[in-house]
Amino acid sequence: MRVTLDFRHRDLKTSGDVGFQRDGVDQAFSVGLQGQILPRSLFNKLEAFASFSFQKVDSTVTGSQGSRNVLGYNGRIAWSPKDTTNVNFNFKKDVQTTVTDETVENSNISLGISQVFSRLMTGSLNLYLQNISYFGGDRKDDRVGLSASLSTALGRNWSAGARISYDDTNSSGSQMSDELFTYDRTQIGIFSVFRF
C-alpha cells in the first residue's frame, strides 16, 4: 500500500475581448492511497485516490466583481475483479474557465468499466453526470452522458478503434434562453494511435 501527500498553490488570470475576466487563486492539499485496502478474499484489488482543495475565486463578469470560496475534491476508486476487467468510479468538483472566460463551478461523477477481451481487443463503457454552475448569474447546466469504445492492436506500436457517445444537456436560468442550451448530441468517431 502506498500513501501520497501533495500541496499545490496556483494563481490563474484570464483576459480577452469577450467581456469576461477572471483572477483566481486556489490551494489544494491532496491525500492519495493506492494498493490493496480490503481483504484479498473479498476483492482481488481495490485502489483509491482522493484529494481536497480550497479555491478562492475573484471574478469580473460584465463589469460586476465577485468573490467565491469553493471546496473542491477529486477522487477515484478502481476495482479489478479479474486481471482483464476494471471497474472505476470517479468524482470531481472544481472551478474552471470556459472558452469565453466565464468562471464556472463544475461537478462531475462517472462510472466506467473496461474489459480486455483478448490480446488484441479492448473495450470500455462509461456513464457520467455533470452539473455546471455559472458565476455571476443563475444559469446551470445538467448533463448526462453515455459512451462506449472498442480498440484493437494492429501491430506492436499501432492500434485503432471506434467510439460512440450520447449526451443530453438541460439548462436553466433567467438570464438566457433555455431552448438555446437544451439539446442532445450523438457523436461517432474512429481513431488510430501509433506509439514511438
Whether the per-residue pLDDT at 72 is higher than 80: the answer is yes
- Name the band, by pLDDT with cuts 50, 70 and 90, for residue 22: low
Whether the per-residue pLDDT at 57 is higher than 80: the answer is no
Greater confidence (179 vs 9) lies with 9
> Pick from 132, 139, 53, 124: which is nearest to 96 by CA?
132
Residue 192: HSE in the Cβ half-sphere, 13 Å Cα cutoff: 4
- Name the band, by pLDDT with cuts 50, 70 and 90, for residue 61: low
- Name the band, by pLDDT with cuts 50, 70 and 90, for residue 29: confident
Under 8 Å between Cβ of 160 and 190 = yes
Q: 179 is written with which cell numbers?
A: 431552448
| Percentage with pLDDT > 90 across the chain | 34
Looking only at Cα atoms, what is the longest distance across the chain?
Answer: 60
What confidence score (pLDDT) does residue 38 get?
A: 67
Whether the per-residue pLDDT at 53 is higher than 90: the answer is no
Question: Over the chain, what is the mean pLDDT?
Answer: 82
Q: Which domain holds residue 56?
A: 2-194
pLDDT in tens, 88-146: 999 999 887 776 667 788 999 999 999 999 989 999 999 999 999 887 778 889 999 99
What confidence score (pLDDT) does residue 65 get?
A: 65
- Tell me how many domains the chain contains: 1
